[in-house]
Every structure is written in C-alpha cells, then in structure tokens.
Amino acid sequence: MVMIAYYLITAFLLALLVWNFVREKSRRGDLVLYLLVILPLLLRLLRWK
Amino acid sequence: MKKDVLVKVCLAATFLALALWGGLPLLRHRHFDIPVVKGPGVTAVLRLSEFSPGLKGTAGDTNVYVLEGREPGGKALLLGDTHPNEPEGMLSAIVVIENAVVEKGTLYVIPVFNNSGSRTTRPGDGYPLYFDVVTDGGRRRFRYGNRDASPLDQWPDPDVYIHYPEGQLLSYIDVRNANRTWPGRAGGSLMERVTFGAMELMRRQKIDVAIDVHGAETMYPVTNCIVAPESSVKIATLASLTVKAMEGFESHVEPSPSGFRGLSHREIGDHGPALPFLIESPIPFLDQPTGPKTTKFLLDGKDPFLLALSKKKKLFVPYDESGWPLEKRVGQNLSVTLEILRQFSKKTAGRPIALRGVPRYADVVKNGVGHYLADPARAASGGVILN
C-alpha cells in the first residue's frame, strides 16, 4: 500500500516536472535542473532492472 | 524546429546518454552470474523459495547447496554474503561447496544469502563492481555487492524500520539489511522473506548449528571474533581457544546482546532449533579513513592510513605492512567453522557433523584462496550452478 502511494507521488512529481520543463522557454540552467530531478524519478517509474 | 525546442531535445538526449553510460555497467553487474562448481560432496541444490514461497521469482531467491553425509548425524547451515560487501563469507562458503565431503551429518550452504544486495553497489563509495581471484586454472570473477538489498528490489524505505516481531525501532536503512530482519516473516519485506526462508529451512530440517560468516572493519570493536548468544557461548569459547592454541590466530568471543534485535546470532536461537554463531574476520577495505577503494586493496587489505592509525593504537586488530589479505580472512573463517562443528560434535551425543577436504587457516594462507577454487571450464556437464 505504501509502495503504491510512493509510486503515485513519483508519477505526480514527474508530471509536474515534465510540464515545467516543456513550458520553460529561456532559462537553460533551470532546464538542466529539471532534467537532473526528472531522471531518477523516471527510472523509478519505469522500474528498469 | 524552434530554437528552444531544439535546446530541450539536445539537453534531454545528453542526460539520457549520461544515464546509459553510467547505468549500463550497473545493469551488466546486476545480471552477472557467479558459477559455482558442484564439489564431490554436493548431493542436491535447492532454492530458498522452497522454504519461503514469497521469494519465488524475486531477486531474493538463492541457491541452497546440500552436502549429505554417508552416515547420519547432526545438521549445520553455513551462510555467506549476508552482507555482500564482505566477500570472505561467500568465498568461504564456495570453498566448502567445491571441496567438502561430509562423512557424518548434513551440511546446508547458502553462499549468496542476500542475492539482491550482491547485485548492486554502494552509491558514492567508489566500490569496484567485481573482483578476480587467481586460481590454478586462471582467474575467477565474482560480483562485489553492497551491504543492503538493492532499492530496485525493495522500495521504499520507511522513515523508521520497526523490527518484526519485537517492535524495536531501528535505522531506516536496516530494513534492507539481511542481518537486521531475522527471524523474518512469510509476507514481509523482501529481506524478511529471505530470513524467513532460512528460519523455515532450520525449523523443517532440524538444523543444529547455524554459522553466519561476515567481515568487519578493523576500527570496529566487534571484529576478529565469534559472536554467540548464551546457548552457543561454550562451543564458541572452546573453538576460539582451540584455534588460538593450535593454529596461532585470534578470534575472540563476543556476547550477542539480547536487547539488539534482528541479528542472526540473536534471533536464530530465539526462534528456531539451531545454535547460532556469527563469525567476523577483519576486512580493512570497509574502514572509512583509507585510500581509494581498489580491487587490490579489497584483496590484500594493505592501506597506509590504517597502518598509521595502527601505530597510534586506533585499530582493534594487529595491523602491519602485510595488511590483512583475503587468504587470512578466508582461512580464519574456514578454521573457525570447522572448529565450531568439531566442538559441537564432541559435546552433542548422536549428532556428529564430520567433514573432510576443507582447507584450514595455514593451508589457505600458504596456497591462496584460488588454489581451493575449482575451474568451472573443467567441470562435468551439469556440474556448474550459476548464482
């Protein structure tokens, strides 16, 4: 149950970050920071082993 | 394509490339199997999931080697890689599997107890992913793992780990530590299912002696020792005195604290029939104030910073220019294991456990660990089991 909740939270945060990444127009530093945070969340959600 | 879209695509591609570059070696390590040759004494190979069905198909499942003697007697269980960053336990277990012939009683050996932990690494510590041991037939490669199970297999960690069944509050990280989740439970976390499997094995097979083989830092007081609870302490003391007198190395006895839960040397005896023992040999590689964590250092245990600390009497073991090589660590483990089994057999009428073919401390120090490892390329058909 806790694990399912954590996956839902991960998916929610990932969606927010991807949305922000897409909307960002000019600040390249922010784009890099978004990608830095997106990557581990994405890997967790994909469950690559 | 607009310029800002192009920048985003390039950045995302760069990050993906970096992730692949960093991730592929970890992926290969996770799927690298260690071949173990079935020695002359191996009579069956089981899976731990036969005792804990919740492990079936998971990274927690692992091989259990059975060495049944010609004559009946007592039964013992030997565990290696409870902490997969302490490889002397796994190597000691493999030396037993590939060399031992049991004459009386039965021996169960699990060389890679925390299979999940052995397929990951410690983030940020620069651990090597593999190490090679030179054998008479060439080099044999082994995975070098982490102390705890992989978060790919058991996730998320709780804020506080509540031990089952005692309810003691432990560090969150220990929920993935196979030596904090004893006695485990059938439907618990992955590591609880692993330790539950071993407990079920001990209960169903009526195991008399359980030996969990570890390594510990030279700056940690519980090193170079046999940890034993009240029920095992007499045999541990006799084993300790005998190896010191007969083989010339120290392995003192540490009492198992009754108030610290989840450890094999405490819970195995409290929840099952076996007398538990936990063996620690010193592994300098695990100490913090050292030089780079190289494979060479892992094998020879030589480090100038530890040597300087030794001169200031900051270590709990003797340490000089010769370091603390793998041969000494594995040799100690094997001699102490054999001595525990011998002392148990002497003290317990009708339950002898006798084996031959296993080298002792002096043999391993003289000939090297590799001399006692078989060549998988020369094994008979079906004689190699992947772990």
Write out the two tokens for B62.
Answer: 């692992």
User: What mean pLDDT do residues B132-149 have?
Assistant: 97
Cβ-Cβ contacts under 8 Å, A44 against chain B: 155
Contact (CB<8Å) A43/B8: no
B172–A contact, CB cutoff 8 A: no
User: What mean pLDDT do residues B114-139 have?
Assistant: 95
Write out the two tokens for B79.
Answer: 């565990």
Residues 16-45 of B with CB under 8 A from A: 19, 23, 27, 30
Mean pLDDT of chain B: 96
Q: What is the distance between the alpha carbons of residues B353 and B346, in angstroms, rounded to a whole number?
A: 9
Contact B113, B51 (CB under 8 A): no
Question: Which among B28, B58, B155, B176 is the top mutation candidate for probing chain A, defined by the most A β-carbons within 10 Å of its own β-carbon?
Answer: B155
Half-sphere exposure of B250 (CA within 13 A, CB side): 10
Cβ-Cβ contacts under 8 Å, B155 against chain A: 3, 6, 44
> What tens digit of pLDDT does each residue of B276-315 get?
999 999 999 999 999 999 999 999 999 999 999 999 999 9
Q: Which ipTM score applies to this complex? A: 0.85
B292–A contact, CB cutoff 8 A: no
State the residue for tokens 């029920």.
Answer: B231
B12–A contact, CB cutoff 8 A: yes
Candidates B12, B30, B153; nearest CB to A35: B12
Cβ-Cβ contacts under 8 Å, A3 against chain B: 155-156
Task: Look at residue B3 in the predicted model and tell me its pLDDT.
Answer: 81
Question: Directed axis angle between helix A28-46 and helix B3-30, to 10°?
Answer: 40
Cβ-Cβ contacts under 8 Å, A18 against chain B: none
Domain ranges of chain A: 2-46
- Tell me, rounded to whole angstroms, the distance of Cα B189 from its chain centroid: 20
Residue A22 above 70 pLDDT? yes
User: What mean pLDDT do residues B68-97 have?
Assistant: 97
Cβ-Cβ contacts under 8 Å, B152 against chain A: 47, 49
Distance between A16 CA and the closest CA of chain B, angstroms: 16
Q: What is the distance between the alpha carbons of residues B265 and B255, in angstroms, rounded to a whole number?
A: 9
Question: What residues contact residue B152 under an 8 Å CB cut-off, 6+ apart?
Answer: A47, A49, B30, B59, B116, B120
Task: Look at residue B189 in the predicted model and tell me its pLDDT.
Answer: 97
Report percent pLDDT > 90 for chain B: 96
**Where does the pLDDT of residue B58 fall: very low under 50, low under 70, confident under 90, or very high at 90 and above?**
very high
Distance between A8 CA and the closest CA of chain B, angstroms: 12
Find the helix or strand (DSSP H, E) in which A7 lies: helix A2-23
**Where does the pLDDT of residue B335 fall: very low under 50, low under 70, confident under 90, or very high at 90 and above?**
very high
Write out the two tokens for A41.
Answer: 């969340």
